[in-house]
Amino acid sequence: MKIVVIGGTGLIGKKVVRNLRQIGHDVLPASPNTGVNTITGEGLTEAITGADIVIDVANSPSFEDAAVMQFFETAGHNIAAAEQVANVKHHIALSVVGTENLQESGYFRAKLVQENLIKRSGIPYTIVRATQFFEFLNSIADSATSGDQARLTSALFQPMAAEDVASLLSRFSLETPRNRTIDIAGPEKLPLHDAVQAALKAKKDPRKVIQDDKAPYFGMVISDRSLTPQGEATLGQTTLKDWLALQ
């Protein structure tokens, strides 16, 4: 079976490519690095021709409001057009848990536009919303740092390992399209400030995390419901402790 992974050379994409190749599928990692550009359309039709499944895990290179909206709108239209010509049987896309509740952010407004484009495309689909990745805990700290302190909320979140994200995406891609949105998350809910402090400590980073429940998360004030699934979710297996031990 031919499977195209849009964003197939990135953090999640290369793991999905590896997983599906290991079980015998013909997997094409599609990214500008491999000559496939979803914005200009270069190489896109050729890449998707003959594909049964397209998995989109690409992310915008810029998080500036106008740029990220242009990225997801343009890429969404171009991918859908190529899929319709190729008669793709399943489009699976990676999105973010709580997207509709985080609309103060230009990034999440763009992700919601991407999701709606997929739903209107006529291609059988599964949208997989994931919680934050362990791999981005240091970036969260950086966004909240002033001097030698990072001020972060104690709001709960349910982070997961990139390996678990890729494993679940690989599995869902081979199943019947759900034609709906599903959530995936880590196995435990954690206060955001505690998880980030644990990650910094594991790397011997001297920064101290200060609990401040009014501190913004990438510009947004969040609650326990913002970054956690509010209904049924499929859980990964890797805990924060286990992940840190592997680093």
**pLDDT (0 to 100) of residue 2:** 97
Q: Indicate whether 144 belongs to any domain.
A: no
Average pLDDT estimate for 74-88: 98
**C-alpha of 141 from chain center:** 19
Name residue, tokens 């973010």.
96
Mean pLDDT, the chain, rounded, equals 96
- CATH (domain of 45): 3.40.50.720
Find the helix or strand (DSSP H, E) in which 82 lies. Answer: helix 65-86
Q: Are strands 125-130 and 233-235 parallel, antiparallel or unpaired?
A: unpaired
Q: Indicate whether 106 belongs to any domain.
A: yes
Give me the percent of the chain exceeding a pLDDT of 70: 100
**pLDDT (0 to 100) of residue 188:** 97
**pLDDT (0 to 100) of residue 178:** 98
- For 223, other C-beta atoms within 10 Å of its C-beta total 12
Q: Indicate whether 148 belongs to any domain.
A: no
Q: What share of the chain is helix, strand, coil (3-state, %, to 5)?
A: 40, 20, 40
Q: Indicate whether 29 belongs to any domain.
A: yes
User: What is the pTM assigned to this prediction?
Assistant: 0.95
Burial of 224 (0-12, 13-18, 19+ CB in 10 A): middle
Residue 219 · residue 104 · CB < 8 Å = yes
Rounded to a whole number, what is the distance in angstroms from the first to the last CA of the chain? Answer: 34
Domain count of the chain?
1
Q: Indicate whether 102 belongs to any domain.
A: yes
Give the least confident one: 66-75, 156-165, 184-193, 212-221. 212-221
pLDDT in tens, 19-40: 999 999 999 999 999 999 999 9
Q: Indicate whether 152 belongs to any domain.
A: no
| Reported confidence tier of residue 227, pLDDT bands at 50, 70, 90 | very high
**pLDDT (0 to 100) of residue 118:** 98
Contacts of 61 (CB under 8 A, 6+ apart): 67, 71
**pLDDT (0 to 100) of residue 111:** 97
> What phi and psi, each to the nearest 5 degrees, are found at residue 152?
-140, 150
Q: Indicate whether 28 belongs to any domain.
A: yes
Contacts of 137 (CB under 8 A, 6+ apart): 159, 195, 196, 199
**pLDDT (0 to 100) of residue 224:** 95
Q: 14 is in which domain, residue-wise? A: 2-133+160-187+225-237
**pLDDT (0 to 100) of residue 231:** 93
pLDDT in tens, 120-175: 999 999 999 999 999 999 999 999 999 999 999 999 999 999 999 999 999 999 99
Q: Indicate whether 77 belongs to any domain.
A: yes
Amino acid identity, residue 165? V
Which residues does residue 129 pair with via DSSP β-bridges, in sequence order?
Answer: 95, 183
Give me the percent of the chain exceeding a pLDDT of 90: 98
